[in-house]
Amino acid sequence: HAEGQIPRNFCLDPTGKWMIVAHQNSNTVALFRVDPETGKLSFTGKKQPVGGCVCVRFLPLE
């Protein structure tokens, strides 16, 4: 389950521990934890409303 309407794009973080999913129709971004052994996704309960969400990326912070 993607925790939103019409999952449009997703991105794994560089560590492979997290995945974010952009939902086109519900205009939200949801955060999932990735199980390192199975690859199974678990919704973290964190979802953020955004406007016009169609693409997501992790950006390095320096």
Q: What is the pLDDT of residues 17-50, one digit of tens each?
A: 999 999 988 899 999 999 999 999 999 999 999 9
Please determine, for residue 53, whether its predicted confidence score (pLDDT) is greater than 80: no
Domain range list for the chain: 7-49
pLDDT at 2: 66
Phi-psi sector, 8: left (phi>0), alpha (psi -120 to 50), beta: alpha
CB within 8 Å of 25: residues ≥ 6 apart = 4, 5, 6
Taking the model in full, what pTM does it have? 0.84
pLDDT at 1: 59
pLDDT at 19: 95
